[in-house]
Amino acid sequence: MPSGPPAPAPPFARLLIANRGEIAVRLIRACRELGISPIAVYSEADADAPHVRLADAAVLLGPPPAAQSYLDMGKVIAAARQSGAGAVHPGYGFLSENAEFARRVEDAGLVFIGPPADAIARMGDKAAARALMEQNGVPVVPGAQALPDDSALAKAARAIGYPVLVKAAAGGGGKGMRVVHKPGDLAESAAAARREALHAFGDDRLILEKYLAHSRHIEFQILADRHGNTLHLFERECSIQRRHQKVIEETPSPLLDDALRRAMGAAAVAAARAVDYTNAGTVEFIVDPDTRAFYFLEMNTRLQVEHPITEAVTGLDLARWQIRIAAGEPLPFTQDNLHQRGHAIECRLYAEDPASGFLPAAGRLLHFQPPSGPGVRVDSGVQTGSEVGVHYDPLLAKLIVHAEDRPAALQRMQTALAETIALGLATNREFLQDVLAHPVFIAGQAATRFIEDHLPDWRPQEIPAAALIAAALAELHASVVSGRPPADSDPHSPWARPSSFRLGGGR
């Protein structure tokens, strides 16, 4: 559907994007379409990253470790002030769901492109969010919160019944989560979850939930303005996961019918209204495919990695609407105006080794050639010669396809993956192809344990050494023709030295 009338001039001329990689590139393009000057930030490891070159200006934050660069609130806000930005978009990850950061941005007189800090805080605490959802009639997974010690944890687990899921009360992304199948494993699993949660979120509180082994993970996209309009933009199925993290997403879900879609959409809207939510967000549910009962899991108070498939089937640009809502613009459409058209699938191309427990890979991307063609979209923050380091998420690109129906979308994605070339380090490309070709996935019956149940011993085909040599020679030839140095050139040369503020993309 159309995105509504042309956006009025926003109350800020410059917007700082407090992120990196493909989401930074995505937001740079959204800014340009709205007539806003995009400002990038970067660490020393990202000095030559695509998002730095594409922005109108870029500000160096610090060394590669995220705690000294992308997670340093003071540096990010100082960068916004230095560059003359009037707003800050956090992207996803890093500071995107940090209520303190949202408050500090607003206290600095800047516009935070996201929900109110209070909504982030209330939904970021999984225990408080569960209680709030129960109060507002949103079904939650059977479980317990406010567990002060192991004795209370064990008592709650017995009442719920094994298997149970031990889960960090703060944060997300699969961190601080353990599945416990028997009482004897509970104490050790809880201790490990607490350690991981404390390290990742600075909070070791736990909640307990009934573990539904063969559930489906389905989330609803929410969009809410500052004028009381709260809508859902339908669902995304995210059941294909490794280590509780999503790998493949699609919409519409092959599980949902119209009645269940309406019920879950209404619950998602109710969840957002319960915290006076504004801007874009996602309400996540698990669904029992046998009983078709659904339960609230959590709300992600930010733009999701998988937002492009919602854009594909609704025709809405979520990144642009985030900015327009933050500028005070009302949504010009209602729930009845929204429809799903066709089918969309997203595959996350990671630098990782699926045959070794999805161990992240690091190194130089010798050759990268993304796919193209009708109905194919690629969101990426890397290019040939990019260094994939150990400091950040190893996501190379998101491959998104849109077609008239699910079979056509599956075939289009297989073609897109076959055309994708990423040489120089391990990727999950072949693994993605095998998931899409599996009869259970093709039948639309894949649950959250799909990988463990159906591809536990997956192995890739070997890449011929000649292909790697050819890619290396191609990169060397490109560097000679273009005049730029190879990616492993002297880091102390003027070519590699980042400046603290680089106008015109630093070139």
Domains of the chain (ranges; CATH) run 14-113 (3.40.50.20), 142-210 (3.30.1490.20), 216-454 (3.30.470.20)
> Which positions of the chain have pLDDT values less than 70?
1-11, 171-173, 462-507
Q: What is the mean pLDDT of the chain?
A: 90
Instruction: Name the strand (E) or helix (H) holding 158.
Output: helix 150-160
Question: Residue 337 has what pLDDT?
Answer: 97
Question: Residue 474 has what pLDDT?
Answer: 57
Burial of residue 480, with CB atoms counted within 10 A of its CB: 0-12 exposed, 13-18 middle, 19 or more buried: exposed
Full DSSP string of 189-227:
HHHHHHHHHHHHHS---EEEEE--TT-EEEEEEEEE-TT
Q: Which of 32, 38, 34, 33 is nearest to 15 (CA)?
A: 38
CA dist 173 and 246 (Å) reads: 9
CA dist 249 and 315 (Å) reads: 17
**In this structure, which amino acid lies at residue 426?**
A
Question: Residue 483 has what pLDDT?
Answer: 52
**CA angle 414–416–422, rounded 5-degree value:** 110
Question: Residue 505 has what pLDDT?
Answer: 37
The predicted model scores a pTM of: 0.86
Question: Residue 331 has what pLDDT?
Answer: 97
Cβ-based neighbour number of residue 491 at 10 Å: 10
Question: Residue 155 has what pLDDT?
Answer: 94
pLDDT tens per residue, range 78-87: 999 999 999 9
Calculate the dihedral angle through the C-alpha atoms of 216, 217, 218, 222, rounding to the nearest 10 degrees: 160
Cα→Cα distances 267→3, 293, 479, Å: 25, 12, 54
